[in-house]
Chain A
Amino acid sequence: MSFMYPLCLLALLGIPAVIIIYILRSQYTEQTVNSTYIWTLSEKFLKRRNPLSGLTGIIALILQLLMVLLITLALVKPIITLKDAANEYCFILDASASMNMSDGEKTRFEKGKDEIEDVISSSKRGSEYTLIYVNDEATTIYEGVSSKKTALKLLSELEPSYAGSNIDSAKMIAQEFFNKSPSTETYLVTDKSYNMHQNVTIIDVSGDENNYGITDVICQVNTEIDGTSVLTVGGKLNSYKKPTSLRVEAYVDGADAPSGSGEFMILPTTDGTEFELGKIKLDKPSYSSVRVVIANEDALFSDNEVIIYNAKNEKQYKTIIVSEAPFFLEASIDAVGDYDVISVSPEEFEAKYKNSSFGLYIFDSYVPAELPQSGTVWMINANQSVSGAGFSYRSEVVLKEPCDMEKSTSSQSTIRALLKGVNAKDLYLIKYLRYSTSGDYMTLLSTDGIPLVMAGENDFGNRMVLFAFDIHDSNIALTGDFVSLVDNLINYSFPSVLDSTSYIAGEEIIINTVANCESVKVISPSGKTKYLDTQKTMNTYVLGESGTYTVEVNAGGSIRTHSFFSETPYGERAPKTVEQNFSIIGTPSRDRLDGEFDPTIIIFVLIALIFAADWMVYMYEKRQLR
């Protein structure tokens, strides 16, 4: 036995204090009375007294001493060690989307938490708890926590995700714990069944619920002969457990009433059953959004709704070309899209546009004294360094013979996207510039390992494209590669906020920072808000929920809203799945932890009982002296 607060043993000084008080109280009061005759005579009339009467004082003393002793014990908080009585527990809690399924009262995740809570609560004090939270990835929430209170508190704060479940990753972590301590008791709390398992207790929280969901939605706009636009909504539905008649409704552009609906008998199949709603007449040429819902209630609501957003062209920024000979650039930009482009000479730029704001600055054979702090910058044939550009000019290389240009073979997705459609065959140049660049630049085209076309970021966090040669010193402008390259670079320079309007929950998506962006706010379906870093050209964001996300971009004072839908992962929609194996490899040992027993509650009960007994003795004495 050990004491948590041994200093509190000083409270034992109360024992002599109680004894002194008892002695002082036990003194007889001396008094002279008229006559002691009757008092003495009363002895003969004294009937058999309650044996307690004469002992109340000593009983009260004993009780009070016991109380002081017990209060001291309660203060010092004794802990009794129980040999090999405690365990190490490792809980793997499946937090995938399917754990959101509800039987009407509790979700599977809540049931799972209750199960873990029961195990923790009934475990011996001194046990240690580890909790692994699993969705797309496994996260150790706590490890080796010995406080039940802490373990339960952290457990209670957990919420299920809408992502898939990476149980294998959790198994690896659990295996590590088991390897370290083979006496660890591992619990897997999930709604999946396992054909085989070893060294693990599977707590299956799945129920008999049915689930059905929308697995695919296709929206097609057609123009009728009379010129009106009609929308056809179709797709696939699935009922995962039993055939069910489902009512499907479509709401166009946020309408309150269904724009179209239909009733379909859906069978449990692997791929789902196709459905198609009737033609929906549109008031305008196209739609902004279509919300397709299953009106029937089931165990998992999140896969009963899909919203399709019609992506719009967001590349509506101004471009300025500062060049003495902008022909090739103008032509190629004109070829790839309808952009607002102005071309000015360097003198004109210095005189008129130096302080104007543009989405894209193209400086051709001209280096401004200061780099624009907003907007993407292309620098072509910059024969001197400029502060904040992320490169420094070193030298000009004049070749005796033209050299070939080679495109990057990197598998990096951004480089691949920037070189889309660029063959780089038979491209050559006769003169180029050598730069020293920072690590933020990606090389797209090079010659003998010397970068010729690079893309990256400047010190202001804006995208930057660097051409290390004069376009006129190369044949690139005369090839189709140049148009493709300019198209790619324009896309790079004017990135869309989002690449798609439909994702799967749990995915990590890229949200691009557009030109002149002041703030980017992401609002989740549950209303959680997150501001992204606008200093970065792009931010990654993990979709933790299922439903409609909204991205609010404040660019140049105007706020534009982009919506996209995050769907429940398809693998998480079935009410019951059977997995093959979950085994923790190894031989469990019996080396358990020493348990602890905290007798505080017993002590308090005893204190209460003794207090009650002392009170009764006091009341008895008071009654006797009445």
Chain B
Amino acid sequence: MSKFTIDEELLAQIESLQSLLKNNVAGMFGGNRQSKSFGSSCEFADYRDYLPGDDINRIDWNAYARFDKLYEKLYYDERQMHTRIYIDASRSMVHADDSKAQASLRIAACLAYLSVCEMDKVSIYAIHGDKIEEIISSMVGKESYISAINKLNDVEFYGDSRISEAILPAKVGRGDGYSVIISDFLTDDNYENAIDHLVSKKRDVLCVQVLSADEINPQMRGKMHLFDSEDTNKTYRKKIDRDIVRAYKEALRFVIERIKNYCQAREATYLLAPANASLFDIFFGTMIDLGVLK
């Protein structure tokens, strides 16, 4: 597979974006992300009665003058999130052409950059079979991004990937940011438990389905005997004509709707990213429309 590249100009544009988290952030370390809990940020949140031992610097003396009672001013807390990106590294992502793999890595890299810019930690994993392989661990700051992001080129795409079996046993964190699954999701249901699990951990889940142009609009015609790149026992033998292609497209639509509905039901976000679509369109178009970014 050829090495992926990212346009620096695009990264500069991505810096202007901001990710929107649905769940209350619960990071361990202070950061740039506003938490629902009260802390020490500059943003005023509420008042409460002063209790002995409270910091007297937060007493609102104006309120005392008016009500003759001591009130403590409360401020939102700001936490550092941990964005976890899971890349489906199965053979189906790279067979025939590596456009899907390239697209997956670029999306992952851009999301990682966005998180890094927001002072969040970023970890990137590759899913191989029922295991996840940490590619980049807890990357913080642009400098470490620049030094670490090249590791994505070391990702090898082979075998199959069982998303749920890989993610469920892994340490996924709790309420501390995004979990992004990038895959073609060309499977019956092995991603559903993973989504449930991540949602239950109060993580914002983003499922990015990457499909190649030929998967969206197959061009092959005539008598074909197709073999699955991940499992050669899976074959499809048919004379592919208009009717078959029409049925294929309906099946694809069904698969997309199924995962989309599943995500919606669990307040996860689904994003279809054609491999040949530009990253700019994905980030500044689709993701903003979906409310993932602003």
- A interface residues with partner B (beta carbon < 8 Å): 26-47, 49-50, 53-54, 621, 623-626
Contacts and interface: CB of A to CB of B under 8 A. Distances in A.
A26 B223 contact: yes
Contacts of A624: 241-243
Interface string B226-263: 11111010111111111110111011101100000000
B223 A38 contact: no
B241 A53 contact: yes
A42 B227 CA distance: 15
- Central interface residue in A30, A33, A35, A50, by most chain B CB within 10 Å: A35
8 contacts: A28-B223, A31-B227, A32-B96, A32-B226, A34-B184, A36-B227, A37-B187, A43-B247
A3 B256 CA distance: 67
A27 B223 contact: yes
A41 B228 contact: no
B250 A42 contact: yes
A34 B215 contact: yes
A626 B245 CA distance: 10
Given A37-B187, A41-B251, A45-B251, A28 B95 contact: no
- Central interface residue in B93, B184, B250, by most chain A CB within 10 Å: B250
A29 B241 contact: no
Interface in B190-244: 212, 215, 220-230, 232, 234-244
Contacts of A43: 247
A143 B235 CA distance: 77
B92 interface: yes
Given A33-B227, A50-B243, A625-B222, 10 more contacts: A27-B223, A29-B222, A33-B229, A34-B95, A35-B215, A36-B226, A37-B228, A38-B186, A43-B247, A626-B221
A28 B91 CA distance: 24
Interface in B109-158: none
B73 interface: no
B79 interface: no
B186 A34 contact: yes
Contacts of B243: 46-47, 49-50, 53, 624
Contact of A35 (B186, B239, B244, B246): B186
B92 A38 contact: no
- Central interface residue in A30, A33, A47, by most chain B CB within 10 Å: A33
B143 to A, nearest CB: 37
Closest 9 pairs between A and B when the two form their complex, measured CB to CB: A624-B241, A45-B250, A35-B186, A42-B251, A42-B247, A39-B236, A41-B251, A625-B221, A28-B225
A626 B247 contact: no
A26 B237 CA distance: 13
Nearest to A32: B227
Contacts of A34: 91-93, 95-96, 100, 184, 186, 212, 215, 229
- Central interface residue in A32, A47, A49, by most chain B CB within 10 Å: A32
B186 A28 contact: no
A56 to B, nearest CB: 9
Contact of B234 (A31, A40, A44, A625): A40
A623 to B, nearest CB: 7
Contacts of B238: 39
B92 A35 contact: yes
Given A33-B229, A39-B226, A623 B242 contact: yes
B186 A37 contact: yes
Given A26-B223, A624-B241, A625-B242, A35 B247 contact: no
A30 B225 contact: yes
Contacts of B240: 625
Contacts of A27: 223
Nearest to A27: B223
B242 A32 contact: no
Contacts of A50: 243
A27 B224 CA distance: 9
Contacts of B235: 36
Contacts of A623: 242
A188 B109 CA distance: 106
B246 to A, nearest CB: 8
A45 B252 CA distance: 10
Contacts of B224: 28-31
A43 B100 CA distance: 25
A39 B248 contact: yes
Contacts of B255: 37-38, 41
B48 to A, nearest CB: 56
Nearest to B100: A34
Nearest to B242: A624
